[in-house]
Chains A and B, each alone.
Chain A
């Protein structure tokens, strides 16, 4: 059974903290994605990676960075969390040449 896991379901952080969100997939997928989901805005792509150590900016990369040191793991980093980064964060992966994305359960991040 294919699986994308995210390190936390719920996270509460303070403004200015550095936040790491981890995502792991066990399907040997080349492509991994980070989205944020907000009411009325749907899913917006933050960053994606098509290979180890490769990354591409999505539609809203400001305030975020990513790391892909191993194929199965894609990390989203908030260098200095702000209240407008309170959101649901969804990780996804898909294989090369295959557009079906498999999603993790999401991390609901609250920044106080």
Chain B
């Protein structure tokens, strides 16, 4: 079945860039997502990318997709303490209701 893998933990200093990585196995994936979960809250969609794109930039966020290696990354520029959260990578296919989530990467930002 589909699988999405990501590391459990990342620690960065405030002002540095953070890069959170994710790999997936489903070659039919058409949508790839990054969700953010702040403490005590549900998940919130941060950004997404279609499988026919290589890169998407949205203010401090840059998503890179290497479809050949099935590798997705999220780069947060100028990381702030408010970026401390759990970041989930997720994927699905066109017309498919189910979304497969990774286990989440906990980002700790050190002041």
Contacts and interface: CB of A to CB of B under 8 A. Distances in A.
B42 A99 contact: no
Interface stretch (A14-22, A63-71, A103-111): A103-111
B42 A105 contact: yes
Contacts of B33: 99-100
A45 B98 contact: yes
B97 A42 contact: no
Interface range on chain A: under 10, 10 to 19, 20 to 34, or 35 or more?
20 to 34
A104 B92 CA distance: 20
A2 to B, nearest CB: 11
A1 to B, nearest CB: 12
Interface in B56-111: 88, 92, 95-99, 101-104
Contacts of A92: 42-43
A30 B95 CA distance: 13
Contacts of A101: 43, 45, 99
B98 A106 contact: no
Interface string B13-24: 000000000000
Interface of A: 4, 31, 35, 40-43, 45, 48, 50, 56, 58, 90, 92, 94, 97, 99-106
